[in-house]
């Protein structure tokens, strides 16, 4: 297990060196988007429209924040369950998405897309939304404002602590060896 300090946009060379179980301290710009926003993004792609941000090397955090308390950029910002975005993730990895961030397992199609397109899935600690929010220095809604907490946000993060769950080589932290 190793610790990496990475910055966005994520380079394929950096993603390729990661192994499941590694720790990533991520800094730079990431984007939050959940179910409804993913559906709108894929619908836009189907109409040959552009996405609300440059997908190449981007990281999407599956999160809908609580309202920001006075003096903070964002409220509690814990991860949501990732499998709800599995129908959309392979297409986005195919367009150059570098990483997704959430909690829980990904389906085989998403894991295959990460291997084919050199992407990773990073786990954020569930139940630690208030602590995670301290790594978010700014938050701005950039698309689908009508979705409220599920709107797409541009987040500036600093040393956001993450764990590599799925790497670009087929490794998965959640797989447990069978005991004989």
Burial zone of 84 (CB within 10 Å; 0-12 exposed, 13-18 middle, 19+ buried): middle
Segment 92-104 mean pLDDT: 97
Q: What is the pTM of this model?
A: 0.94
90-123 in b/e form (b: 16+ CB < 10 A) is bbbbeebbbbbbbbbbbeeebbebbeebbbbbbb
Catalytic residue check, 38? yes
Q: Residue 1's pLDDT is what?
A: 84
Active-site annotation holder among 5, 38, 117, 169: 38
Tokens found for residue 131: 């602590």
Strand partners, 131: none
Condensed to tens digits (0 to 9), the pLDDT of residues 104-144 reads 999 999 999 999 999 999 999 877 888 889 999 999 999 99
CA–CA dist 161, 132 (Å, integer): 8
pLDDT at 179 over 50: no
Condensed to tens digits (0 to 9), the pLDDT of residues 38-71 reads 999 999 999 999 999 999 999 999 998 998 999 8
CATH architecture type of domain 3-166:
Alpha-Beta Barrel (3.20)
Q: Residue 103's pLDDT is what?
A: 96
């Amino acid at each position: 297990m190793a610790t990496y300090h990475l910055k966005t946009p994520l380079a394929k060379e950096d993603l390729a060196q990661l192994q499941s179980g590694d720790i990533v301290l991520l800094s730079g710009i990431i984007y939050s988007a959940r179910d409804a926003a993913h559906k709108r993004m894929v619908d836009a792609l189907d109409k040959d429209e552009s996405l609300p941000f440059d997908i190449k090397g981007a990281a999407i955090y599956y999160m809908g924040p609580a309202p920001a308390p006075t003096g903070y950029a964002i409220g509690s910002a814990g991860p949501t369950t990732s499998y709800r975005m599995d129908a959309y993730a392979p297409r986005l990895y195919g367009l150059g998405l570098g990483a997704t961030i959430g909690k829980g397992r990904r389906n085989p199609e998403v894991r295959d897309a990460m291997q084919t397109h050199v992407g990773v899935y990073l786990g954020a600690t569930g139940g630690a939304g208030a602590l995670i929010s301290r790594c978010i220095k700014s938050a701005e809604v950039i698309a689908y404002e009508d979705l409220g907490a599920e709107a797409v946000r541009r987040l500036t993060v600093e040393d956001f602590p993450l764990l590599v769950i799925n790497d670009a080589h087929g490794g998965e932290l959640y797989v447990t060896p069978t005991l004989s």
